[in-house]
Amino acid sequence: MADLRELYQQVILDHNRSPRNFRVPEGANREAQGDNPLCGDKITVYAKVSPDGKIEDVGFQGSGCAISQASASLMTSAVKGKSTAEAEEMFEAFHGMVTGEKDTPTLPRKLMAFGGVKEFPARVKCANLPWHTLHAALGHVGRVATTE
C-alpha cells in the first residue's frame, strides 16, 4: 500500500505537470462536458470513434485541480486504442475502485494508483469526473452532454 501511495503522488505530479492528450483530436465525433461544482473542475472530453467502435483518438480540455487534470490525462492514455466496450469496463472498474465499492485487480497499475483517493472522499469526484465525462461522450453521438 505504501508504494501505491508513492506512485499516486508521482503520477499526480507527473501528469499534472505535463498532461497527455490535452487537445481536441482531429476528426473527433464524440464530445461531452463534465462539471464538478464542489471543487470547480470543468472538463470537456473528445473522442474519435471508428464505425466499429474503436477509440482511435481521445483528448480533453478544461481546468481544475491537480487530481482531475491528472486523472483526465491518465484516462485518455489508458483508453486510447481500446474499444468503447473496454473503455466502459475501465470506467466501471475505476468508479468501483475510487468509491471503494469493489476490488479492481484488472486495471492498469497507473490507474490503480488512484485507489488512494478513496481515503479522501472530497477528492473522489475529482478523480471520477473525467471518467463520467468520457462515459457521457461515448453514450451520446455528435452532441454535447453535461454530467451534472
Q: Choose between 25 and 64: whose C-beta lies nearer to Zn ion.
A: 64
Q: How far is the CB of 36 from Zn ion (least distance, A)?
A: 6
User: Which residues on neighbouring strands pair with residue 83, listed in sequence order?
Assistant: 54
DSSP SS3 for 32: strand
The dihedral sign for the CA sequence 98, 125, 148, 44: negative
Q: Taking CB under 5 A as the rule, does residue 71 contact Zn ion?
A: no
Q: How far is the CB of 15 from Zn ion (least distance, A)?
A: 14
Extract the C-alpha cell encoding 84: 468503447
x/- map, 25-64, Zn ion, by CB under 5 A: --------------x-x-----------------------
Site for Zn ion in 104-143 (CB under 5 A): 126
The answer to whether residues 88 and 138 touch, using CB atoms and an 8 Å cutoff, is: yes
Q: Choose between 45 and 49: whose C-beta lies nearer to Zn ion.
A: 45
CA atoms of 19 and 7, how far apart (whole Å): 16
Q: How far is the CB of 39 from Zn ion (least distance, A)?
A: 3
Query: Using CB under 5 A, which of 21, 33, 44, 68 touches Zn ion?
Result: 68
CA atoms of 77 and 92, how far apart (whole Å): 17
x/- map, 1-30, Zn ion, by CB under 5 A: ------------------------------
| DSSP-H helix ranges across the chain | 2-17, 66-79, 84-98, 109-112, 121-139
Q: Which residues bind Zn ion (CB under 5 A)?
A: 39, 41, 65, 68, 126
